[in-house]
Amino acid sequence: MKHVVILGAGTAGTMMANHLHHQLKHPDWEITIIDEREEHHYQPGYLFLPFDIYAPEDIIKTIEEFIPKDVKLVKNKINRILPADNKIELTGGDEIAYDILIIATGAKIAPEETEGMQGAEWQKSVFDFYTFEGSLALRNKLRDWEGGKLVVHITEMPIKCPVAPLEFAFLADSFFKHKHMRDKVEITYVTPLSGAFTKPKATEALEHLLHEKGINIEPDFAIEKVDNERKEIVDYGGKIIPFDLLVTVPTNKGDELMERSGMGDDLNYVPTHKATLQSKDYTNIFVLGDASNIPASKAGSVAHFEAEILTDNILRFVHGEPLKEEFDGHANCFIETGNGKALLIDFNYTHEPVEGSFPFAGIGPLRLLKESRMNHMGKLAFRWIYWNVLLKGTHIPFVSATMSEKGKHYA
Amino acid sequence: MEKTIAGKNITVNEEGYLTDFSQWDEQVGEALAAEANIPLSARHWEIVKYLQNEHKNQVALSIRRIGKSGVTDIKEFYQLFPNAPLKTATKIAGIPKPASCI
């Protein structure tokens, strides 16, 4: 019997387990998925939790309920990958041998990378919303915050869901308006990028929205430290931005497992071929989701598109056929803009987000790069789709794994 | 588009970055630095040469990586090339503006 081992039962790993168990069956194949955690979190929900839009129970389920019965779930911490021996070493010393390894260990925040970030003000006036604990602590803070300078900040790229901090700023604007205290809050968006986003057309649209909502933008800010006493963030060039409430996205890194295994780059991401999703160093190792170093967004939609393509490539690998260089970096993201509206962007490695209609060219019903209520309904519906369709590896009708250029207005 | 830099016709993109490194020489580097109001010292040149070499080896450039390069630290990098040092330094070096990812 041959053995596929999946590391990580988050969005990407769970989808792969659901795809592969239909294809690689007993008695020829066994599939194991390893994750030390008990809970599966709907991570996009961390954005809504601080504003009391979602409650904790909306975004937490068990890992177990999404893993197919014929896939073995091992709840254990992984000590090391031994790629030369095709083995996984668990904490405690047990070893698991594999024929094919799928790495889906994701990315997480590393606030310790920035001086002072986890200082005296951490979770008092300095918060993250990329963890459940951070997001919940921020909710409690916002419930009775009386206003002042709110600074929404990105430490460095790449980060998971690069639009989330913008959405946070938009939702904060909307939140304080509804609480009739918008005039008591000054919102500043601080980014290491030269503008609101990484791609020109989307940057233009998003900066227009920031302006419309009275949100200041401070681009090209490379943070050196958080000064907890003076309540300021300071950049390497000497720029200083004071805050009463700092909501930061710390440096994101891949899992420390990669460092222990000598398999990651300087941010613990695994070097991966961007079109086949095969590891650059080992032919029987594949990487998907946030764990890889490919130049695509770190987002659930990307993992979803990757999972469809990777499933085909793993079957080709099993049959000794050449892999298809098919993954195009396709990402599809709703951007909440507050007041019950949202934008939608759809893009890939080579095509930046532009205006148009989605998924049906000329019809929609969703509008690309334009605010609409329908887009917002799409974002809210997405939580149901995530739990009931996406994790189960079911294909989403009319949305292909590779990006379609139809219905998009390229200049 | 074409631009005259240090008396030569040089091809640049809309942001002023050279699109063909073979057109770069030290005079072009000096002229681009002057446009950015940066007089180039020996330290500047060490960093410019380091960036060119990294680019040649297809290493993706980032502020973090430069901080750990051993050639300079982030503080000095900002002192030498104020405001947006990586963007300024790569322009002077005649190499593409680093893609800051997605």
Q: What's the CA gap between A335 and A379, in Å, rounded?
A: 8
On chain A, the residues whose CB falls within 8 A of the CB of B102 are 157-158, 162, 198, 295-298, 331
Q: What is the 3-state secondary structure (H, E, C) of chain B?
A: CEEEECCEEEEECCCCCECCHHHCCHHHHHHHHHHCCCCCCHHHHHHHHHHHHHHHCCCCCCHHHHHCCCCCCHHHHHHHCCCCHHHHHHHHHCCCCCCCCC
A197-220 mean pLDDT? 92
- Within 8 A of B84 by CB-CB distance, chain A residues are 194, 220
Evaluate whether residue A11 is within a structural domain.
yes
Please state the ipTM of this predicted complex. Answer: 0.77
User: Could you tell me which chain A residue has the CA closest to the CA of B64?
Assistant: A156
Q: Is residue A368 part of a domain?
A: yes
Of A220, A295, A298, the CB nearest to B83: A220
Interchain CB distance below 8 Å, A156 and B68: no
Sheet containing A29-34: order of strands: A71-74, A29-34, A2-7, A100-103, A285-287
Distance from CA of B57 to the nearest CA of A (A): 16
With cut-offs at 50, 70 and 90, classify the pLDDT of residue A233. Answer: very high
Number of domains in chain A: 3
The C-alpha atoms of residue B11 and residue B23 are separated, in whole angstroms, by 8
Residues A308 and A369 in one domain: no
Q: Does B101 touch chain A (CB under 8 A)?
A: yes
Measured between CA atoms, the residue of chain B closest to residue A163 is: B102
- Which residues of B are catalytically annotated? 101
Closest by Cβ to A295, choosing from B68, B85, B101 = B101
Identity of the amino acid at B62: S
Contact A237 B78 (CB under 8 A): yes
Domains in chain B: boundaries = 2-93
The pLDDT > 70 percentage for chain A reads 100
Q: How confident is the model at residue A252 (pLDDT cuts 50, 70, 90)?
A: very high
The pLDDT-based confidence of B32 (bands split at 50, 70, 90) is: very high
* pLDDT on residue B98: 83
The pLDDT > 90 percentage for chain A reads 91
Beta carbons of A222 and B74 less than 8 Å apart: yes
Question: Are residue A188 and residue A300 in the same domain, yes or no?
Answer: no
Same domain, A45 and A164: no
User: How many interface pairs between A and B have CB atoms less than 8 angstroms apart?
Assistant: 48
Same domain, A204 and A228: yes
| Domain endpoint, select from A216, A245, A274 | A245
**Per residue in A54-85, pLDDT tens?**
999 999 999 999 999 999 999 999 999 999 99
Q: What is the mean pLDDT of residues A34-47?
A: 97
Residues sharing a CB contact under 8 Å with residue B100, sequence separation 6 or more, in sequence order:
A157, A192, A193, A194, A198, B62
Is B31 at the interface with chain A, CB within 8 A? Answer: no
Contact A284, A276 (CB under 8 A): no
Mean pLDDT of chain A: 95
Residue of A nearest to B65 (CA): A266
Average pLDDT of span A81-104: 97
What counts of helices (H) and strands (E) characterise chain A? 8, 24
Pick from A265-274, A388-397, B43-52: least confident: A388-397
Last residue of a domain, one of A318, A346, A365: A318
Q: Are both A123 and A213 inside the same structural domain? A: yes
A401, part of any domain: no
Kindly determine whether residue B100 and residue A192, on different chains, have CB atoms separated by under 8 Å.
yes
Q: What would the mean pLDDT of A158-176 be, rounded to a whole number?
A: 96
pLDDT band at B84 (very low <50, low <70, confident <90, very high): confident
pLDDT at A395 over 70: yes
The verdict on a CB contact (< 8 Å) between A158 and B102 is yes
Can you give the residue range of the structural domain that contains A301? 2-106+255-318
Instruction: Please report the pLDDT score of residue A194 as a whole number.
Output: 85
Question: Which residues of B fall within a CB distance of 8 Å from A157?
Answer: 100-102
CB contact under 8 A, A194 and B87: yes
pLDDT of residue B100: 59
DSSP H/E element including A342: strand A341-347
- Quick check: A155 pLDDT over 90? yes
Q: What is the mean pLDDT of chain B?
A: 90
- Pair (A241, A132) in one structural domain: yes
CB nearest A296 (choices: B82, B99, B102): B102
Integer angstrom CA distances of residue A301 from A139, A306, A308, A338, B8? 26, 9, 11, 21, 47
Query: pTM above the 0.90 mark?
Result: yes
A122, A221: one domain = yes
* Average pLDDT rounded to a whole number, residues A271-298: 96
| pLDDT (average), residues B40-48 | 96
pLDDT for B77: 94
Indicate if A237 and A209 belong to the same structural domain. Answer: yes
Instruction: With cut-offs at 50, 70 and 90, classify the pLDDT of residue B102.
Output: very low
CB contacts under 8 A, B 58-77 vs A, are: 62-65, 68, 74-75, 77
Residue of B nearest to A350 (CA): B102
CATH code: domain of residue A228 = 3.50.50.60
- Any chain A CB within 8 A of the CB of B53? no
Mean pLDDT value of segment A215-228: 95
**Residues of chain B contacting A158 with CB distance shorter than 8 Å:** 101-102
- Average pLDDT (A317-339) is 96
**Residue A365, preceding peptide bond in cis (omega within 30° of 0):** yes
Confidence of residue A184 (pLDDT cuts 50, 70, 90): very high
Contact present, A190 and A154 (Cβ < 8 Å): yes
Among A160, A163, A236, pick the best mutation site for testing chain B contact (most B Cβ within 10 A).
A236
Residues A12 and A100 in one domain: yes
Q: Is residue A78 part of a domain?
A: yes
- pLDDT-based confidence at residue A411 (cuts at 50, 70, 90): confident
CA of B60 to nearest chain A CA: how many angstroms apart? 11
In DSSP terms, A371 is beta-bridged to none
